[in-house]
Amino acid sequence: MKKFFSILLTLFLPLSFTNVSKAAGHMEAEVIHWWTSGGEQAAISQFAEAWQEMGNTWIDTAITGGENSRATTVNRIIGGNPPTAAQFNISKQFVDLVEQGLLQSLEEVATAEGWRDFIYPPELIETCEFEGEFYCVPVNIHSWQWMWINNDVYKQAGLPVPQTFEEFLAGAPKIQEAGIIPLALGGQTWQESGMFGVVSSSILGFPHMQSIFRDKDVSTLRDGRFEDVLSTYRELNAFTDEGSPGRSWNDTTAMVIEGKAAMQVMGDWARGEFAVAGKEAMVDYSCVIPGKEKYVALGGDVFVFPKNDDPKVKEVQLAMASMMVNPTVQAKFNNAKGSLPMRLDVDTSAADACMQMGLDLIQNPNAIMRESDDWNTPAFTNAWDDIISEFRNDPNYTVAQVMDDLEGVLTSGL
């Protein structure tokens, strides 16, 4: 029956671009990931090169789009032909695979190398640890908590660069009068909900968010402050342009780079776009962590290692896991990716002003913020995001209705 299901799923799978390369070596490993853009390819090839230097073979199965990639991984596992390693996000995305005993425990190598001593921040250990054993390797940290701002636009408008959403909203009408779009937002659900997350954490603060998303505390949701988040979010949306629906994040970032728009709320992967366009951090553009209390959100990527009938594969998997956390490899990989490393003893001398800001902040344990994804299943997150997206797009959807619907999701037990 499992085979049956996998055939069915495969039939429905959208065509994905796969890219397979082979070289000689004594341990062969196939890695499924979704790093297909220029900067991302540069990053994954750091892993591939380090692996090949060890005299091994790296089979690269790059699949466009995280969802397609994860679906392929799951199908391959259920279909009995698992890859050696596969990419997931720091989240609950792969918890089912662990519970069904489909993933290889990495505890042997984790204990031997003392992963629990050097993985930083320790929240990453929680993500990967199930019943005292390691099941994934965190490789980087990406944070959503950024506003990307075109400095020229603010200079010409005679306004200071905003540090909070309130300041941004205060200056937005003046920017609009100058014929520039104040807020660049791509109208795709993940971008809308991503920005909503940044707005809510900058207004509410992390303890409040934790109480809602981890403890599912309805009284925290209902204490009156969440309505502020919703109304701020709605005010912000009045300053987007009508070309927003469906626009991709990098096209949206390009609007800020070109000075057509003043600001975008996006994760730190946006920095790569500015770098490619030859812009300098804090000179041409500013990166601002909005809010009085500044946080680094703990997003990012992990690799998991599906169990294989062949006992030799385990050895390969443990070797690869160990390679991925190696400080030298981590430095090369994260410099290429523009993300923060998952340990502190890594050489980050190549970091620019924005990345340095993140590096400084993450040393402070109180500034580390976990996201809803970390505690909740994709089904919960998506039900929540649907409401936020509908709230953004339907002006007749009142704050009171939204609050009721959000409470419904919170108590749904998803």
Partner 1 sequence: MPLFRNIASMIALLPMIVISLTVFVGCIIYSFVYSLTNSKLIPVYNYIGFDQYERLFKQRKWDVAVENIFIYGFVFTIGCLIIGFLLAVLIDQKIRGESLFRTIFLYPYAMSFVVTGLVWKWVLNPTFGLENSMHMWGFGWFELDWLVNRDLAIYAVCIAAVWQGAGFVMVLMLAGLRGIDEDIWKSLSIEGVAKWKSYIFVILPMLRPMVVTAIVLIAAGVVKVYDLILTLTSGGPGYATTTPALYVMENFFKRADLGQAFAASIIMFISVVCILAPWAFYEFYLRNKYATN
Tell me whether residue 74 or residue 106 sits nearer to partner 1 (CB atom). 74
The letter for the amino acid at 85 is A
Phi, psi (rounded to 5 degrees) for 375: -110, -20
CA distances from 190 to 184, 249, 250, 377 (A): 14, 10, 13, 15
Contact 69, 87 (CB under 8 A): yes
Select the residue interacting with partner 1 from 262, 269, 392, 406 (CB under 8 A): 392
Q: How many amino acids of this chain bind partner 1 (CB under 8 A)?
A: 43
Site for partner 1 in 234-253 (CB under 8 A): 241-246
Nearest approach, Cβ of 73 to partner 1 (angstroms)?
10
Taking CB under 8 A as the criterion, which residues in 181-210 touch partner 1? 187-189
Q: Of residues 40, 301, 373, 405, which one binds partner 1 by CB under 8 A? A: 405
Q: Is 382 in the site for partner 1 (CB under 8 A)?
A: yes
Q: Out of 79, 259, 327, 378, name the contact with partner 1 by CB under 8 A.
A: 378
Q: How far is the CB of 4 from partner 1 (least distance, A)?
A: 7
Our CB check for partner 1 shows the closer of 237 and 339 to be 237
- Which of 89, 93, 200, 220: binder of partner 1 (CB under 8 A)? 93
For the segment 40-79, give every residue that binds partner 1 (CB under 8 A).
67-68, 70-71, 74, 77-78
Which region among 17-25, 91-99, 172-180, 325-333 touches partner 1 (by CB under 8 A)?
91-99
Instruction: Give least dist CB 409 to partner 1, A.
Output: 11
The alpha carbon of 50 is separated from its chain's Cα centroid by a whole number of angstroms, namely: 24
Does 83 participate in binding partner 1 (rule CB under 8 A)?
no
Beta carbon nearer to partner 1, 23 or 379: 379
Q: Which is nearer to partner 1, 201 or 376 (CB)?
A: 376
Q: Report, in Å, the least distance between residue 401 CB and partner 1.
A: 10
Q: Is 9 in the site for partner 1 (CB under 8 A)?
A: yes
Closest to partner 1 by CB, 78 or 128: 78
When binding is defined by CB under 8 A, the residue of 28, 108, 228, 390 that contacts partner 1 is 390
Question: If binding is defined by CB under 8 A, does position 345 make contact with partner 1?
Answer: no
Nearer to partner 1 (CB atom), residue 14 or residue 224: 14
User: Are 198 and 145 a contacting pair, CB within 8 Å?
Assistant: yes
- Residue closer to partner 1, measured from CB, 30 or 405: 405
Per CB under 8 A, the segment of 18-26, 90-98, 107-115, 163-171 that binds partner 1 is: 90-98
For Cα atoms 368, 370, 374, give the angle at the middle one, nearest 5 degrees: 150
> Residue from 3, 8, 231, 312 that binds partner 1 (CB under 8 A)?
8
Among residues 4 and 17, whose Cβ is nearest to partner 1?
4
- 3-state DSSP of the chain: CHHHHHHHHHHHCCCCCCCCCCCCCCCEEEEEECCCCHHHHHHHHHHHHHHHHCCCEEEEEECCCHHHHHHHHHHHHHCCCCCCEEEEECCCCCHHHHHCCCECCCHHHHHHHCHHHHCCCCHHHHHHEECCEECEEECCEECCCCEEEEHHHHHHHCCCCCCCHHHHHHHHHHHHHCCCEEEECCECHHHHHHHHHHHHHHHHCHHHHHHHHCCCCHHHHCCCHHHHHHHHHHHHHCCCCCCCECCCHHHHHHHHHCCCEEEEECCCCHHHHHHHCCCCECCCEEEECCCCCCCEECECEEEECECCCCHHHHHHHHHHHHHHHCHHHHHHHHHHHCCECCCCCCCCCCCCHHHHHHHHHHCCHHHEECCHHHHCCHHHHHHHHHHHHHHHHCCCCCHHHHHHHHHHHHCCCC
Nearest residue (CB) to partner 1, 3 versus 312: 3
Chain residues in the site for partner 1 (CB under 8 A):
1-2, 4-5, 8-9, 12, 67-68, 70-71, 74, 77-78, 93-97, 100, 102, 187-189, 241-246, 377-379, 382, 386, 389-390, 392-394, 405, 408, 412
